[in-house]
């Protein structure tokens, strides 16, 4: 009987140790606590995120429809959902309804260019994120694109609160 109890305890201990080593939170490419696909992102530093949101000319939330990866750039095709900062008329988006100057919600699609170091994986298609951008004029044949100031920040209540507070000038 004692041998059976010791054997069961030994098996239980081994299974607990092996389960702890291979838990979901320790597997690579799963960042449950992060607000971005990049583990060393600006969103860990609340003050830095506020500064970047003040530097950005256009801030909006959107859904990623596609990602094109080139040699030096990454281009996101984004469906804009809500504009937090900036004017849609300045970007050159034609809006089919309402006045663009007073429009806060939109279904317009735009290209957003990233030429930042690629230490982070690109966002997946159908991911909602916050895009902190500035205007980037390409050549005549390429449309107006927005250039990312930082990598896109995944859409969470915490990140929205920080960015909206920075835009309104609260708590700086």
Q: If DSSP codes are grouped into helix, strand and coil, which group holds residue 52? A: helix
Cα distances from 55 to residues 61, 96, 149, in angstroms, run 17, 29, 8
Nearest to 159 by CA among 132, 137, 127: 132
Angle CA 48–161–170, to nearest 5 = 70
What pLDDT, on a 0 to 100 scale, did the predictor assign at position 62?
Answer: 92
Cα distances from 149 to residues 4, 81, 88, in angstroms, run 62, 19, 18
What pLDDT, on a 0 to 100 scale, did the predictor assign at position 49?
Answer: 81
What pLDDT, on a 0 to 100 scale, did the predictor assign at position 24?
Answer: 40
Joined together, the tokens standing for residue 57 give 């000319």
Q: Cβ–Cβ contacts within 10 Å for residue 108, how many?
A: 19
What pLDDT, on a 0 to 100 scale, did the predictor assign at position 117?
Answer: 64
Task: Fill in the DSSP letter of residue 151.
Answer: P
This prediction has a pTM of: 0.68
Give pLDDT tens digits along the chain (172 positions).
565 545 544 554 444 444 444 334 444 444 444 445 565 455 557 788 888 888 999 999 999 999 988 877 888 999 888 888 987 677 666 555 545 444 556 677 888 888 766 667 788 899 999 999 988 766 666 666 688 888 888 888 888 888 888 888 865 5
What pLDDT, on a 0 to 100 scale, did the predictor assign at position 25?
Answer: 42
The alpha carbon of 87 is separated from its chain's Cα centroid by a whole number of angstroms, namely 21
What pLDDT, on a 0 to 100 scale, did the predictor assign at position 52?
Answer: 87
Domains of the chain: 34-168 (2.40.50.120)
Joined together, the tokens standing for residue 36 give 């971005």
What pLDDT, on a 0 to 100 scale, did the predictor assign at position 27?
Answer: 43
């Amino acid at each position: 009987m004692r041998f059976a109890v010791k054997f069961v305890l030994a098996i239980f201990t081994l299974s607990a140790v092996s389960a702890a080593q291979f838990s979901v939170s320790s597997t690579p490419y799963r960042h449950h606590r992060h607000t971005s696909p990049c583990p060393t992102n600006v969103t860990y530093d609340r003050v830095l995120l506020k500064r970047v949101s003040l530097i950005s000319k256009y801030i909006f939330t959107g859904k990623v429809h596609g990602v094109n990866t080139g040699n030096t750039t990454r281009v996101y095709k984004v469906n804009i959902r809500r504009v937090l900062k900036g004017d849609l008329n300045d970007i050159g988006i034609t809006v089919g309804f309402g006045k663009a100057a007073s429009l806060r919600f939109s279904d317009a699609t735009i290209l957003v260019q990233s030429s930042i170091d690629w230490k982070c994986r690109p966002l997946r298609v159908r991911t909602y994120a916050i895009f902190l951008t500035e205007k980037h004029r390409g050549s005549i044949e390429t449309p107006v694109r927005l250039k990312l100031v930082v990598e896109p920040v995944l859409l969470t209540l915490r990140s929205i609160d920080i960015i909206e507070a920075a835009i309104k000038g609260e708590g700086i």
